[in-house]
Structure 1
Amino acid sequence: MKTFFKRLFLGLLIIVLLGGAFAAHEWKAQKPFLFRVFLDRTLIQFAFESPETLTSLGFLESVGIKGHNAKLDDDSPEKADELFEKIPEIKEVLLSYDDASLSEKERLSKEITLYLLEFGEQAEEFRYHNYPVNQLFGVQNGYPSFMEAQHQVHTVEDAENYLARLEAVRVKFAQNLAGIQLRAENGILPPRFVIDRVLDEMNGFINTPAKENILYTSLQTKLNDAKEVTSNDKARLLASAESNITGYVYPAYELLIEYFDRVKEKADTDDGFWHLPNGDKAYESALRFFTTTDYTADEIHNIGLSEVDRIQTEILTILTEQGYDTAQGFSVAIEALAADERFYYEDSDEGRAQILKDYQKILDEIDANLDNAFRIRPKAGMEVVRIPEFKEKTSPGAYYQQPAIDGSRPGRFFANLYDIKATPTYSMRTLAYHEGIPGHHFQIAISMELEGMPFIRRISPFTAYTEGWALYTERLAWELGFQEDPFDNIGRLQAELFRAVRLVVDTGIHAKRWTREQAIDYMKANTGMAQSDVVSEIERYIVMPGQATAYKVGMMKILELRERAKSVLGDRFDLRDFHDVVLKNGAVPLDILERLVEQYIEST
C-alpha cells in the first residue's frame, strides 16, 4: 500500500520544497518533459487544494506536515468554477504529447484521461443537475463521517486541528448552501421526500446533546487512545469540543435546516429527472457516464425486463426443488422464502455481532482458496464493520471503503444492520463477495497498489467497470464452488435479479415518468427484498440517476468478453490470465476493456 503513493507524493513534495533545475521544471512547467509527471502532477495539484483529501491520503503527516488538518475544503460555487475552467487548459497540454513519443501504456493513459476531460466538458451543461444534500450523502452526514473516520488524533496538535475544523464548519455549510440556492434559481429542487428525509436527519443531529454527538464521542475515543496526551489536556480539549459543537457545528446545521424548511412547500412529488429543465438530456448524459456506452434509456429498460424474466425462472426452479409452492408465481414464492424464520439472526445486539463475525469468516474462507482463479492479489487486508448507527437508517445495505494509502487502515466492508430482516443468511455470501473478496476489495486495492500506473488510472470513476466487476465476482464465486447450498445460490440470483430490476426502475423513473411509488411496487414484487431496503434503494436511484444501471451493464460485458476468450482460445484459456487483463489495467471504459481483452486473445 505504501510503495507507489508514498514515493509519488513524497517525491513531488520534495520537488515543491527543494526545487532543483530539472525537478523544478517538471513541477512548474506548463508541459513537463515526462508524460507521467504531467498526469500525476495535475492530480496532485488538485489534491493540494483539498485539505480533506490530504487528510484522507495521510502522506504529509509522515514528514511532519499537519497544517492542512486544521482546514476544510472550499465548497463554494466559485471553486467549482475553477475546475471547469482548468479542463480546456489540461486538455490542450495532454494533446500536445505526440502518440509516437509515448509507450503503449502511456497512450492508454492519455486515451483514458482524454475520455474523462471530454466528458467533463460535455457535462458542464448539467453541473447543477444534482441534489448535493440528500438522504444518502452530502455535507450534513459526510462531514461527521469524515471527522470520525479520517481525522487522526495522536497528539495535542492533532486534537487542536480537530477543534479548528469544528469551527470551520460554519463556512463550509454556508458554501454548500450557496450552491443549493444556485440550483434552486435554475429550477432544480429535490423532490419533497428528499427534503423531508434530510430535515429529519439534521434535526436529529442537532437535537442530540453535544456530549453524545459523534463529533464529541469520536474525539473522546481518539483522545483516550492517544498516549501522548495528558489527562488535563484531554479534559481541556473535550470541553472545547463541546463548546465548538454547540457554538459552531449546530448553527451550521441550522443554516440548512432553515433553508429546507422554507423551500419544502415548493418541492413537488415528481421524482424523475425528466421534470427538471433539460432533464432528459441530463439523464442521457448520466447514462453515458455511468455505463460508458451509448445505450439509450429504452435499450437499457428492455435489457432489464428480459433479464428479470430469465433470472426469476431460475430462482423458481430452485425453490420448486426445495419444496416451496411456486404455482402462484414469483412474488408469492419469494415472499414465502423471505418469511422463513430459519434464515434470520436474532434481532439483538448479540445477533448483529454474530452477523459481522460470520461475514468475516466468509471472506477469510474465500480469500484462502482463490489461487486457481487469481495470480494478482491485493496486499491490503480486509475487515467487516457496521455502518455507523446514526446514518444506517437511510444508508444502502452495504458499501466498501478503500484502504488507507499509508497502510494504516485496511479495506472495509460496511454492513447495514438496521433491519435484521434485510440480512437473510442466504444473501450473506454474495454480499460479502461483492463488497469484499474478490469483488470491490480486489479490484480497488489492486488498482491502488499497481506499480508504474499514473494516479488518474488508479482513481478513474468508471462505475460500469468497478461495479460490473463486483457483480461478476458474485457469479464467479458460485462457479468456483463457494455457494453450493441451493439457498446461497438463490441469494446470488436474487442479487443479480436486483441489478436487473435496477435497469428497469432507474430508466422507469427518469425516462418513463414512473412515480416513486410505482418503482417501489415493481422492485418489491420482483425481488422479494425487505420493504425497508426497497424504499432505500428506490430513493437512492432518484438522487443518483443512471448510477444503478452500471452494475448489470458492466457484468454482462465482462462475461461476454470472458466467453469470447474461452471460445477463441479453447484449451489455451486460463482464467488467471483473463483476470490479470481485467485487473492490471485499473478501471477503464467498457469499449477499452473490450480492446484489451481482444489484444490478450491475439497475443495468446
Structure 2
Amino acid sequence: MIKTIFKRLGQLLLLVVVLAGSFAAHEWYAQKPFMFRAFLDRTMVKMAFDSPETLTSLGFLESMGIKGHNAELDDDRPEKGDELFAQVEQIHQTLLTYQDEDLSEDDQLSKEIALYLLEFADTAKAFRYHNYPVNQLFGIQNGYPSFMEAQHQVNDVEDAENYLSRLQKVKVKFEQNLQGLKIREDKGIIPPRFVIDRVLEEMTTFVETPVEENILYTSLERKIDEAEDFPAEEKGRILASAQENITQFVHPAYQLFIDYFTKLATKATTDDGFWRLPQGDEAYRQSLKFFTTTDYTPDQIHQTGLVEVDRIQSEILTILASEGYNASNGFTAAIDELAADESQYYADSDEGRAQILEDYQKILDEIEADIDNAFRIRPKAGMEVVRIPEFKEKTSPGAYYQQPAIDGSRPGRFFANLYDIKATPKYSMRTLAYHEGIPGHHFQIAIAMELEGMPLFRRMSPFTAYTEGWALYTEQVAWELGFQDNPLDNVGRLQAELFRAVRLVVDTGIHAKRWTREQAINYMKANTGMAESDVISEIERYIVMPGQATSYKTGMMKILELRTKAQNALGDEFDLRDFHDVVLKNGAVPLAILERLIDNYIAEKQAG
C-alpha cells in the first residue's frame, strides 16, 4: 500500500523541471531546506526521479531531449520497499522540525496532510504484504503491457529502441516481483483459488497468442506507422527485434509466473475474506481507515449500507411504478422487467459499441457546456472516451478514469467496458459519464493537477473517500441541475448509488463477517439488478481490494452532509459555486479536514 501511495504522489510533477531549476543548491541538497514548500516538492521530485515508469507516464522530459529513462523499468525488489520505509521515516522526522508558528495557514494545512499520510504509512508498515499484487484486475501481468501500450511513446527510432530495451528487461522485473510473492506465501498470504485461476487463464492466453497479435507487438507496429517521418527502412528491423524479444524475454517472464501460480494453487482455499489471513482482521481495519479516512468500524459501515439499500430501493420502486413498470412484486422483479426491455440496449456489434462511445462523448460535451451555474473553476485539460483494451476487458470494471498527461499531450480519458453489451443500458450511461468524466473524476483530478501555488503532493493526494466520494456526489449534482430529466435516467442514477450502498454491505460482509464469494454475489445481484457479469467482476474486485469499495458512499454522504450544513448555516447566502470551490481548490483531503475547511468557509461567509 505504501508503495502505491508514494508512486501516485510522484505523478504530479508538472513543474518538476521549473522547480528543479529554481531550487537553490542549499534547498536541493540540504537535509532541511529553508523553505517548507521546497522541502515538500523536492521530496516528491526525488521520489519520481527514482521511478523511470513514472517519468514516462508524466512525459515532460522528452521535450527536452531526455529519454534515457524510457529504456528502463522500475526496481521492484522487496529491498526497495525497505528503502522506501526508511526514507519515509526520515521525511517524517524532518517534517516535524518545521514549527507551525513559522508556517503560513496554507503550509500548516500541507503539513497536517503530509503528517496524516506519513503516520498512516508507519502504521501500515506491519501490513505491507497483506495484499495480492497479482490478481485478476491488476498486477504486473496486465499492468506491464497496458503501460507499454498507453504510456510509452514511439515517435522516432530512439523511442523504438527504448521500447525494445524494456521488452528485454521485463524478465528481471517479473523475477523481482516473484520475490515479493514468495515472501507473502511464507507469511500465509495466499490469494483465494479463483484469483489464481483467473490470472493463470489470463497469462496462459497471453503467451499462447501469436507474437504478431500480441499487444506488445501490435502496439509498437501501430505507433511506428503513426509516427511522422519514422524511417521506413528501420521498421522491419525494429519489429523483427520486438518479435525476438517477446519470444526470448517476455514469454519466459510470464512462464515464471505461470509455473509459480500453478504450484501455489494447491495451497489456495475458497475462503475469500481478509479474516482468514494472519492478523487479517486488523489489516482490514487499517484498510478501511485508509480508504474512508475515518475510524468507522466494519459493523458501522455494514449497518449504514443496509439502511441506505432500503431507502434507495424504495425511491427506485416509486419511479418505476410511475413509469408503468410492475413494482408490486418487489425490487428484483421490477428491475428485471426494466432490464429485459430490449429498447434500452445497443446492438451487440462493433457498430453498436462504436455508437456507445459516441453517445458517451455527446453526454459529456452537453454537460460541460452548461454548468456555469454550479462551477466557477474548470480544468484546462480536455477529455475523451475510449474503450478498455479488449485483452483485459473481461475482468475489468465497468469503467475507469485515466488522468491527463501533465504536459498536455494526452487528455483525460474515460475508459468504458464494452465486453457485455447488457452491462451498458442506455438509462445508466449519463450517470456513469458524469462519475468518470464531467463533473466527476475529470474535474476533480485535472483541476487538482492544475492548481497553482500548491505543493505537488496535494495535487493528487490518495484520499479515496474524497476522490470517489466526489465522483458519486456529482452524479446527484447532475440530476439536481436537470441533466437527467428522463425518469429512467434517474433510475440509473439511483441504481448507481444503490450499487455503492450495497458495496458497504458486501465488502464488510466478505472481509469481516465471513461471507463467501457466492453469498456476496447473490446479495449484490438480488439488490442491484446489475448484469451478472458485472456483479461477478465487482465482487471479485472487492476481494482483492479490501475496503476500497466502501470509500465511495462514505465520501458522498460526508460531502452531502457538509453541503447541507453550509446551506442551513448560510441560507440565502449559500452559493453552490462557492461550496464547490472550497471542495475542489484544496485538492484531495481526509474527510475530517474537509469538514474543517467547510466550517471555515461558513464562518468567513457569515463574518461578511
TM-score with structure 2 setting the length: 0.97
Q: Which residue is equivalent to 2:309? A: 308
Please tell me the residue identity of whatever aligns with 2:219: S
Displaced runs of 4 or more, over 4 A: 4-7
- Deviation string for 1:493-527 (max 9, x for gaps)? 00000000000000000000000000000000000
Deviation at 1:241, TM superposition (A): 0.3
Q: Is the 8 A contact 2:100 2:108 kept in 1?
A: yes
Please tell me the residue identity of whatever aligns with 2:123: Q
Please tell me the residue identity of whatever aligns with 1:14: G
Deviation at 1:6, TM superposition (A): 7.0
Correspondence 1:522-601 to 2 at 5 A: 522-601=523-602
Q: Which residue is equivalent to 1:240? A: 241
Q: Which residue is equivalent to 1:18? A: none
Deviation at 1:7, TM superposition (A): 6.7
Structure 2: gaps (5+ residues): 1-10
Q: Which residue is equivalent to 2:398? A: 397
- Deviation string for 1:71-116 (max 9, x for gaps)? 0000110111111111211011101011111111100000000000
Q: Which residue is equivalent to 2:199? A: 198
Deviation at 1:11, TM superposition (A): 2.5
Q: Is the 8 A contact 2:14 2:406 kept in 1?
A: no
Counting aligned pairs with the same residue, the percent is 74
Correspondence 1:466-477 to 2 at 5 A: 466-477=467-478
Correspondence 1:114-125 to 2 at 5 A: 114-125=115-126
Please tell me the residue identity of whatever aligns with 1:8: L
Indicate yes or no: 2:437 matched with 1:430.
Answer: no
- Deviation string for 1:303-352 (max 9, x for gaps)? 00000000000000011111111111111111111111110000000000
Correspondence 1:164-243 to 2 at 5 A: 164-243=165-244
Q: Is the 8 A contact 1:154 1:227 kept in 2?
A: yes
Q: Is the 8 A contact 1:290 1:547 kept in 2?
A: yes
Q: Is the 8 A contact 2:437 2:443 kept in 1?
A: yes
- Taking the aligned partners of 2:113 and 2:401, their CA distance within structure 1 comes to 24
Deviation at 1:228, TM superposition (A): 2.8
Moved more, 525-534 or 220-229: 220-229
Q: Which residue is equivalent to 1:508? A: 509
- Deviation string for 1:369-400 (max 9, x for gaps)? 00000000000001000000000000000000
Q: Which residue is equivalent to 2:6? A: none
Q: Alignment partner of 1:383: what SS?
A: strand
Please tell me the residue identity of whatever aligns with 1:211: E
Q: Is the 8 A contact 2:275 2:281 kept in 1?
A: yes
- Taking the aligned partners of 1:567 and 1:12, their CA distance within structure 2 comes to 43
Q: Alignment partner of 1:384: what SS?
A: strand
- Taking the aligned partners of 2:13 and 2:468, their CA distance within structure 1 comes to 27
Task: Provide the alpha-carbon RMSD of the alignment.
Answer: 1.0
Deviation at 1:292, TM superposition (A): 0.3
Please tell me the residue identity of whatever aligns with 2:16: F
Q: Which residue is equivalent to 1:9? A: 16
After superposition, the Cα gap between the structure-2 partners of 1:179 and 1:5, relative to the gap in structure 1 and judged at 3 Å, is closer
Q: Is the 8 A contact 2:12 2:457 kept in 1?
A: no
- Deviation string for 1:47-79 (max 9, x for gaps)? 111000000111111111110000000011011
Q: Alignment partner of 1:414: what SS?
A: strand
Q: Which residue is equivalent to 1:380? A: 381
Please tell me the residue identity of whatever aligns with 1:480: L
Q: Which residue is equivalent to 2:3? A: none
Q: Is the 8 A contact 2:149 2:219 kept in 1?
A: yes
Give the number of aligned pairs.
595
Q: Alignment partner of 1:452: what SS?
A: coil
Deviation at 1:5, TM superposition (A): 6.7
- Deviation string for 1:404-444 (max 9, x for gaps)? 00100000000000000000000000000000000000000
- Taking the aligned partners of 1:12 and 1:426, their CA distance within structure 2 comes to 47
Q: Alignment partner of 1:194: what SS?
A: helix
Q: Alignment partner of 1:295: what SS?
A: coil
Please tell me the residue identity of whatever aligns with 2:165: A
Q: Is the 8 A contact 2:14 2:60 kept in 1?
A: no
TM-score with structure 1 setting the length: 0.98
Q: Is the 8 A contact 2:13 2:456 kept in 1?
A: no
Q: Is the 8 A contact 1:56 1:404 kept in 2?
A: yes
Q: Is the 8 A contact 1:401 1:411 kept in 2?
A: yes
Q: Which residue is equivalent to 1:287? A: 288
Q: Alignment partner of 2:138: what SS?
A: coil
Q: Is the 8 A contact 1:6 1:406 kept in 2?
A: no
